[in-house]
Amino acid sequence: MGQAIDLSILIPARNEEFLARTVDDILEHREGNTEIIVVIDGAHRGPDVVQDPRVTVVTLQESIGQRAATNLAARLSSAKYVMKVDAHCAFDQGFDVKMMEAMHDDWTMVPVMRNLHVFDWVCKKCNARWYQGPTPEKCPQCDNTTEFDRDIVWIAKQRPQSKSYCFDSEPHFQYFTDFSKRPEGKGDITPTMSLQGSCFMLTREKYFELNICDESFGSWGSQGLEVAIRTWLSGGQVMVNQKTWYAHCFRSQGGSWGFPYPLSGNQVEHAKKRARDLFFENKWEKQIYPLSWLIEKFLPVPGWADEDIAKIKATEERFSINAPTKSIVYYTDNRIDPLIMAACQKQLEKSGLPIVSVSLKPLDFGHNIVLDLERGYLTMFRQILAGIEASKADILYFTEQDVAYHPSHFDFLPPDRTKIYYNTNVWHVRASDGHALYYTAKRTSQLCAYRDVLLDHYRKRVALVEQNGFSRKMGFEPASHHRPERVDDLESGVWQSEFPNIDIKHEQNLTAARWRQDQFRSQKNCKDWEEADEVPGWGITKNRFAELLQSITQPCKVE
């Protein structure tokens, strides 16, 4: 049997003269277990696609439309990930592996977009060359009107490189270049409000769950907006992977250099109207956030005035009535450097959420509960349980005394109320010298879930440890393993906040820190290992960490 496919590239194609070249480019630059599924939607133009075991071609006699053709290709896939791609694109070497390595199951991701220089026109009479476009009627340098060649160059241009997109209140697609200049728009993986619909990747499961290519929108129009809004409002994130790129050929001059599908103003307006009716009226049944949340997340956004946002908010009554409440459960053993404790508490206060603190000594922080117990694992579990029982909010975030939480951590809402979720955007910083370390892991200090699930789990956990004592085989993080010693059969998910949290490592940590990969029994537990002198969104930490903590505790601190 062949190796399982990880990624299916879906290409809807109609009258696409560069389809074969696009397929060749993907085969040349793929490095993973990646296949290509092409649906020729009623008409074919140009050379045939290469015969290759990694390429499937479906030819339809009658056109069903771009969205329907993409859906047909997706139904033929058995891969974990699917990537919709236009039939006139080129790709970075190893683009597929780079995308999958950075991917999360609730994300939609795109590479950086470049422009694709496909060919030059060449005058056969005087050898003049000029940039691609419609079939020329006259040479710009001589009197030739009939004899021209196309010289295929297939070059991904260095500029522009598009990294952020948005939509306005019409809605119209917009390039969002100003966002790329903001701190949150810089880095290897960055959020984007919207998409350009020529290339996007997500899990096949999410593709169908969210009805990503909704055929009620018609064949074409508003696709980038549709994909992005469905992802964001359902609790996912739309991210740009700036470590890789694709190049897209734009054909907007009409004639022989126009859109391959029949296209009318009515069709474009139909897609916009469908988007306004479904998303601008907040009628989509799978959304857990209102549209105004997405707009305000990226403000200022071109084309959105205060009155436009107010009009959107007038349709959001169901969210204000039914929005789940949030609260923070904070637990501490009171044995920590006062500066670290003060800075971490200041960061928590920025969330604006109610706080239940559970300590071993009285503490002036939130609603304080004091347990007269000795420090230890059972005590920590009892503290967490006491905090859960005292909080009346629907959703709880666990927070620890030595973690500096970025406010964006608390934007997350669990999309499944039966699961435990962990924020994996966390850096370890050594308090003594500010050395920073990242690796992907699930940590109790990054947990978020619905209160009823947590209450049931921690009552069972405390009872088991009281009866049998604590074993590391039980694990600290709910739903993080499937060993027989687990407390229950909960499932977990992960998310990444817009900016990372900082887990501060110091002499009083209950669990010893590990700073080398060989200290891990399994290398699976230190995936994505990266060491640095600074933390994204926080600045330089190396030899300046105490200064950073001190600045957090100062009044009127501006981030």
Give the best-scoring range by mean pLDDT among 82-91, 219-228, 473-482: 82-91
* DSSP annotation string for 146-181: S-EEEEEEEEEEEEEEE--EEE-SS--EEE-HHHHH
Please give the CATH topology (third level) of the domain spanning 7-298: Spore Coat Polysaccharide Biosynthesis Protein SpsA; Chain A (3.90.550)
CA 9 and chain centroid, separation = 19
Measured distance CA(196)–CA(108) in Å, rounded: 12
pLDDT value, residue 253: 58
What percentage of residues in the chain have a pLDDT greater than 90? Answer: 71
Q: What average pLDDT does this structure show over 482-490?
A: 85
pLDDT value, residue 471: 85
Place of tokens 């003060």: 342
Give me the residue spans of the domains in the chain. Answer: 7-298, 326-553
Backbone angles phi, psi at 252, to 5 degrees: -125, 10
pLDDT at 480 > cutoff 70: yes
Q: What is the pLDDT of residues 448-462, one digit of tens each?
A: 999 999 999 999 999
* Residue 69: C-alpha distances to residues 11, 38, 79, 227, 267 (Å): 8, 9, 18, 16, 17
Q: Which CATH number fits domain 326-553: 1.10.3470, 3.90.550, 3.40.50, 3.90.120?
A: 3.90.550
- Of the candidates 359, 382, 550, 373, the residue with the CA atom closest to the CA atom of residue 462: 382
Q: What is the pLDDT of residues 279-309, one digit of tens each?
A: 999 999 899 889 999 999 899 999 999 999 9
pLDDT value, residue 2: 61
Average pLDDT for the chain:
90
pLDDT value, residue 389: 94
pLDDT value, residue 265: 58
Q: What is the largest CA-CA distance in the chain?
A: 96
Strands 34-41 and 55-60: parallel
CA 112 and chain centroid, separation = 14
Whether 7-298 and 326-553 share one fold: the answer is yes
* 381 in Cβ contact with 462 (< 8 Å): yes
* Residue 249: C-alpha distances to residues 38, 89, 91, 156, 473 (Å): 18, 6, 12, 9, 54
Q: What is the pLDDT of residues 98-127, one digit of tens each?
A: 999 999 888 999 999 999 999 999 999 999
H/E run at residue 91 = strand 89-91
Q: Could you tell me which residues come within 8 angstroms of residue 358 by beta carbon, excluding any fewer than 6 positions away?
A: 329, 330, 331, 332, 368, 369, 370, 371, 383, 384, 386, 387, 390
The whole model's pTM is what?
0.67
Q: Which parts of 368-429 fold into alpha helices (H)?
A: 377-390
* Residue 401: C-alpha distances to residues 154, 267, 332 (Å): 55, 56, 5
Q: What average pLDDT does this structure show over 182-195?
A: 91
pLDDT at 1 > cutoff 60: no
H/E run at residue 395 = strand 395-400
